[in-house]
């Protein structure tokens, strides 16, 4: 649960961005959802694009932190890959907005969710392919 107004804003923004995509969400909608003023959002984030950046960074930071910790406990590469995938599904299960946010807002993973009945599997495949491209 968010501890302060900035966390409420980030959580509200992620939920709205996950549902409709960043382009179709206004700062006033985020403010209403977070139960804060639009001025407070502008004070902390300056713009919707900066807020989108912070939400994206927050999502990836949590995933990288947890997956790196899980993979560090692995004793071989196959176990590390399993730990990586398990972390993805654990985070996706704990917050259904997380994979939808990435699918809608990450330019490398962008999916039309209305055409994806097997969203989780398609997203995971695209996500792993994206990571392996480095």
Query: Would you say 12 and 30 are in contact if contact means Cβ atoms under 8 Å apart?
Result: yes
pLDDT at 1: 43
Contacts of 123 (CB under 8 A, 6+ apart): 99, 102, 103, 109, 111, 116
Q: Which pLDDT belongs to residue 121?
A: 62
**Separation of alpha carbons 59 and 110, rounded Å:** 15
Distance, CA of 37 to CA of 125 (rounded, Å): 39
pLDDT of residue 117: 56
Closest by Cα among 99, 96, 10 to 53 = 10
Nearest in space to 37 (alpha carbons), one of 65, 9, 7, 13: 9
Residues 119 and 111 sit within 8 Å (Cβ to Cβ): yes
Listed as ranges, residues in the chain with pLDDT below 70 are 1-3, 107-134
Considering the four listed CATH numbers 3.30.1490.20, 3.40.50.300, 3.50.50.60, 1.10.357.10, the one that applies to the domain covering 5-132 is: 1.10.357.10
Enumerate residues 6+ apart whose C-beta is below 8 A from 54: 10, 45
Helix locations, the chain, DSSP H: 5-20, 27-34, 38-45, 48-72, 77-94, 97-105, 119-132
DSSP for residue 113: G
Give the start-to-end residue ranges of the domains of the chain: 5-132
């Amino acid at each position: 649960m968010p501890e302060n107004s900035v966390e409420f804003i980030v959580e509200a923004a992620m939920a709205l961005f996950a549902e409709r995509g960043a382009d179709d969400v206004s700062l006033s909608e985020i403010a209403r959802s977070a139960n804060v003023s639009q001025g407070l959002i502008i004070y902390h984030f300056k713009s919707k694009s900066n807020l989108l950046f912070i939400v994206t960074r927050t999502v990836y930071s949590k995933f990288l932190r947890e997956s790196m910790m899980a993979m560090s406990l692995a004793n071989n590469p196959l176990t590390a890959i399993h730990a990586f995938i398990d972390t993805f599904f654990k985070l996706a299960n704990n917050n259904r907005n997380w994979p939808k946010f990435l699918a809608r807002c990450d330019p490398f993973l962008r999916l039309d969710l209305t055409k994806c009945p097997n969203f989780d599997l398609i997203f995971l495949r695209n996500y792993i392919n994206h990571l392996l491209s480095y």
